[in-house]
């Protein structure tokens, strides 16, 4: 059996890589995808911690979070498409 500690360390690595993506890009879509990477890291951390503590509601929270993340990603991509059609760019510095 693999200790949840290793899952937590993996989640920290994935989360940090997502943070690098947000800091190192000005492309709105790439920033959104980097935020999704961070979300994946957070979910893994939640479930790894739940496996240790035995918090029974954690998988329920994870399922709700996955579904809401899907809704958020779809809406955000739609807004980005509309912005691109209106402004012709996805550079967040120019959009702001």
Partner 1 sequence: MFPQVEELLFAAAVSAAIVSSVAVVKYRSLFYAAVALAILGSANAVLFALLGFVLVSVVQVLIYVGATAAFVVFAVLMFKELPELPAPIRATSAVVGSAIFATMAAIIVISGVGTEGRATWDVAAMGLLAEYWLPLLVVAITLTAALVCGVAIASGEGE
What minimum distance in Å lies between the beta carbon of 92 and partner 1? 10
Q: Is 25 helix (H, G, I), strand (E, B) or coil?
A: coil
Tokens in use for 78?
Answer: 């739609």
User: Distance (Å, rounded) from C-alpha 50 to C-alpha 35?
Assistant: 22
Nearer to partner 1, 53 or 96 (CB): 53
Footprint of partner 1 (CB under 8 A): 1-10, 12-21, 23-27, 29-30, 33-34, 36-37, 40, 43-44, 47-54, 56-60, 62-64, 66-75, 77-82, 84-85, 90-91
Q: In 1-96, which ranges are E strands?
A: none
């Amino acid at each position: 059996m693999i200790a949840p500690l290793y899952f937590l360390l993996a989640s920290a690595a994935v989360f940090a890589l997502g943070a690098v993506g947000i800091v190192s890009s000005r492309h709105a879509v790439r920033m959104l995808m980097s935020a999704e990477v961070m979300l994946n890291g957070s979910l893994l951390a939640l479930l790894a911690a739940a496996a240790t503590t035995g918090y029974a509601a954690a998988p329920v929270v994870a399922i709700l979070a996955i579904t809401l993340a899907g809704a958020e990603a779809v809406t955000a991509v739609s807004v980005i498409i509309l912005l691109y059609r209106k402004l012709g760019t996805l550079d967040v510095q120019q959009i702001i």
